[in-house]
Amino acid sequence: MNLMRWAGSAALLLSAGMLANCSQIFGSGEAEGGITTAMLVGADGDSANWISHGRTYSEQRYSPLDAVNRETVGDLGLAWFADMDTARGQEATPLVIDGKLYLTTAWSKVKAFDAATGKPLWEYDPKVPGETAVKACCDVVNRGMAAWGDKLFFGTLDGRLIALDRETGKVAWEKVTVDQSKSYTITGAPRVIDGKVIIGNGGAEFGVRGFVAAYDADDGEQLWKFYTVPEGGDPKDAPAYLQKAAETWNMDVLGANDAIGGGGTVWDSMAYDPELDLLYIGVGNGSPWNRAYRSPGKDGTGEGDNLYLSSIVAIRPSTGEYVWHYQTTPGETWDFTATQHIMLADMDIDGKRRKVLMQAPKNGFFYVIDRETGKFISAKPYVTVNWATGIDPKTGRPIENPETRVDKTGKPALVTPGALGGHNWHPMAYSPSENLVYIPAFEAGMLYAPEADWKPDTARGFNVGFNLGAGDVPADEGFRKQVAGSLKGMLVAWDPVAQKARWTVEHPGPWNGGLLATGGGLVFQGTTGSEFNAYDAATGKKLWSFAAQTGVVAPPVTYTVNGEQYIAVLAGWGGAYALSVDGDLIKRKAPVRNISRLLVFKLGGKATLPPEPALAELPLDPPPSTASPQVIALGQAKYGRYCAVCHAPGAVGSTVLPDLRRAGSLESAQAWAAVVHGGMLKDNGMASFASSLSKEEIEAIRAYVIARANEDKALESGRKIARR
Ligand code: CA
């Protein structure tokens, strides 16, 4: 099929105001062979359904539906809910097609429901091996699916792309898209363009080389593969765009071992402009993070821009051919991905109609880019930023603060935003009537400490080239209070033309939900405060709130069945912040936990949730700390490298995974070793670390956790004890 012809005809229909509902024009889809290019290109006119990840190829997450609006939202109530069979982070955007709702959950499972009644239709479990969790930087999450023809497509944590029959949930085909001997994972949603399923992957905390690839929707045959960074060595046989990139890397070091694959993973955002026929991908951070190890210069510090890290790259979707790029953070070293939500819109800037691309990447600046050429238009900070003082409008390059660039030695730097960014994967939304972009933003700085003797380990644990244990917050009440106070979460209504916030809503803490904007003048968002809220899109006034019993991080969708408007959101706390940030600091902001559940609302909905279970916590009752300071220090270093990213820094306990200070196995060296060395809990996600940690090191980690537990027990009872 000729994509441009279809795109043109859909645009014509739209402009004629005829495309009120795709299913009226193109048939219901079911009998005709399902989702087509014309339906995807014209998705904006099909308000009944939600057929692609960001609702439209422009990824605006704006629905014109207006039955639920400023005046009626007070009558919004729970229509139905469905409990999920996983208790980890839920980040998915559901799809809704002809009265059926489809979603992915943690552990890459898929479920289908009657979208009006909640009746379960089918479910599919790809049986991801539990120990795959150790390859995932940021929880065992999945952010969604794509639809094409009569199939649904999604990626699994262990790197498979699976096509399911949409009616039955039966597997149509399955393809391994990554080298499974390496720490590649898939958590992002695929997109489909003209029968090609596009999917990337993650793993840049572990050493992988990033790429995005296209597969034939009919049979899973790989059609093209686009690497985001060069392979290392002599680039003479590489495609031209990678030869150009090679000039910005130390090619002797890149790819020299599995820990220095370069990174640049395409783990989340994509957008598509059918008129320009350009696919936009968001490219991630370097691997390892620390450029001094990833691309060292002559003096031992890092050198080079390291293309195409932290870039937005425009690709021809039919061939995978490079068209243009814009790099947000040249020579990135702070985990400043540009994988955050990419959104397309047309707007008047300086008296000219511009086709723009917008992004609020981790680095804290909101960018407006010309999406035809990749030329910089403007950028301003949407949160507190100290790594750069601004973006040079002539070159589009940041004006860096040299104090914040940490190499192999020297002073640590407290950098804001930190590795979690000023905005992470949580989708933004756009209101065309307000011309506002709503950003789920937050502030959480990070201490980047040099690691002079960093050694790669590709078997287990992060490979970032910094000392990850250096930022642990000690058991000191005043200090902990102060750090907790610096953590902020907010909903920012950003004017992309003026490049400033029009209004801001403060939340209890960081890591709030993705967004939906509607024609009813509303913005919907879940919060770390376990609420699901509706705000006035023009003013930010809170108009409605639902007690969700759990943190909500996923973005809502809206749709109609028989003309009645529904709003659905997958609730369930988790993800990078929930796992990798000190759980005591998180809980000081809001006592959040995971109850994984799909919540669906409509006007006059009368369903109620079961009573909220009590927030039970095991007692903090560790054995006495008897190990030597040397053993505890060894345990602290190994904990920081191998344990902290899932069980929280300082062994304080995450808000999702077990608090090790309260673990029963803390009492017994044998029981502890059975888990950490023997892999007894591997099916739950706790892999064996025998390949990376000796029995002595594992026992040292136990000694460290016992020491920390005793410090915190003393803190709880108001005393302070010095570590022996
Ligand atoms: Ca990363």
* Residue-wise pLDDT tens digits, 369-391: 999 999 999 999 999 999 999 99
Domain boundary among 355, 377, 403: 403
Q: Is residue 506 part of a domain?
A: no
pLDDT reported for residue 89? 97
Whether the predicted pLDDT of 31 surpasses 80 = no
| Same domain, residue pair 193 and 322 | yes
d(CA 553, CA 560): 23
Domain boundary among 369, 403, 437: 403
- Protein residues near ligand 1, an ion, with CB under 5 A: 285, 335
Q: How far is the CA of 286 from the centre of ligand 1 (A)?
A: 8
pLDDT reported for residue 415? 97
Q: Torsion-angle region of residue 127: left (phi > 0), alpha (psi -120 to 50) or beta?
A: left
Q: How far is the CA of 398 from the centre of ligand 1 (A)?
A: 20
DSSP label at 593? Answer: -
What would you report as the CA-atom Rg of the chain, rounded to the nearest whole angstrom?
Answer: 24
Task: Say which residues have a Cβ less than 8 Å from residue 618's Cβ, sequence separation at least 6.
Answer: 659, 662
| Same domain, residue pair 13 and 160 | no
| Same domain, residue pair 29 and 155 | no
What number is the average pLDDT over the span 254-261?
92
d(CA 252, CA 254): 6
**Global pTM value:** 0.94
Q: Is residue 709 part of a domain?
A: yes
DSSP label at 557? Answer: E
pLDDT confidence of 300, banded at 50, 70, 90?
A: confident
List, in sequence order, the alpha helices (H) in 541-692. Answer: 576-580, 583-589, 629-642, 644-647, 669-676
Q: Is residue 332 part of a domain?
A: yes
Q: Is residue 149 part of a domain?
A: yes
Q: What is the CATH number of the domain that holds 679?
A: 1.10.760.10
Helix, strand, coil percentages (3-state) for the chain, rounded to 5, are 20, 30, 50
Question: Which two three-digit tokens encode residue 38?
Answer: 């014309």
DSSP-derived secondary structure for 424-470? -SS--EEETTTTEEEEEEEE--EEE-B-TT----SSSS---SB-TTT
| Same domain, residue pair 41 and 149 | no
Whether the predicted pLDDT of 208 surpasses 50 = yes
**Cβ atoms of 335 and 385 closer than 8 Å:** no
d(CA 486, CA 506): 13
**Cβ atoms of 140 and 133 closer than 8 Å:** yes
| Same domain, residue pair 34 and 181 | no
Whether the predicted pLDDT of 24 surpasses 80 = no
Q: How far is the CA of 232 from the centre of ligand 1 (A)?
A: 21
Mean pLDDT of the chain: 93
pLDDT reported for residue 719? 59
Q: How far is the CA of 382 from the centre of ligand 1 (A)?
A: 20
Question: Which two three-digit tokens encode residue 109?
Answer: 């499972």
Domain that holds residue 289: 138-403
Task: Say which residues have a Cβ less than 8 Å from residue 628's Cβ, sequence separation at least 6.
Answer: none
d(CA 66, CA 74): 14
pLDDT confidence of 282, banded at 50, 70, 90?
A: very high
Query: pLDDT, tens digit, for every residue of 35-88?
Result: 999 999 999 999 999 999 999 999 999 999 999 999 999 999 999 999 999 999
pLDDT reported for residue 722? 54
| Same domain, residue pair 39 and 147 | no
| Same domain, residue pair 260 and 398 | yes
Distances (CA, A) of 48 to 112, 160, 298, 601: 17, 31, 59, 15
pLDDT confidence of 697, banded at 50, 70, 90?
A: very high
Domain boundary among 403, 434, 459: 403
Whether the predicted pLDDT of 14 surpasses 90 = no
Query: pLDDT, tens digit, for every residue of 615-671?
Result: 777 889 999 999 999 999 999 999 999 999 889 888 988 888 889 999 999 999 999
Q: Is residue 163 part of a domain?
A: yes
Pairing of strands 515-518, 62-63: parallel
Active site (catalytic) residues: 335
d(CA 15, CA 395): 37
d(CA 13, CA 200): 33
Q: How far is the CA of 280 from the centre of ligand 1 (A)?
A: 19
Whether the predicted pLDDT of 538 surpasses 90 = yes
Q: How far is the CA of 335 from the centre of ligand 1 (A)?
A: 5
Q: Is residue 382 part of a domain?
A: yes
Number of domains in the chain: 3
Residue 701 corresponds to which amino acid? I
| Same domain, residue pair 33 and 175 | no
d(CA 639, CA 651): 8
What number is the average pLDDT over the span 170-179?
98
Q: What is the CATH number of the domain that holds 280?
A: 2.140.10.10
Nearest to 77 by CA among 665, 712, 666, 603: 603
Q: Is residue 281 part of a domain?
A: yes
pLDDT reported for residue 723? 53
Q: Is residue 559 part of a domain?
A: no
Whether the predicted pLDDT of 347 surpasses 90 = yes
| Same domain, residue pair 185 and 314 | yes
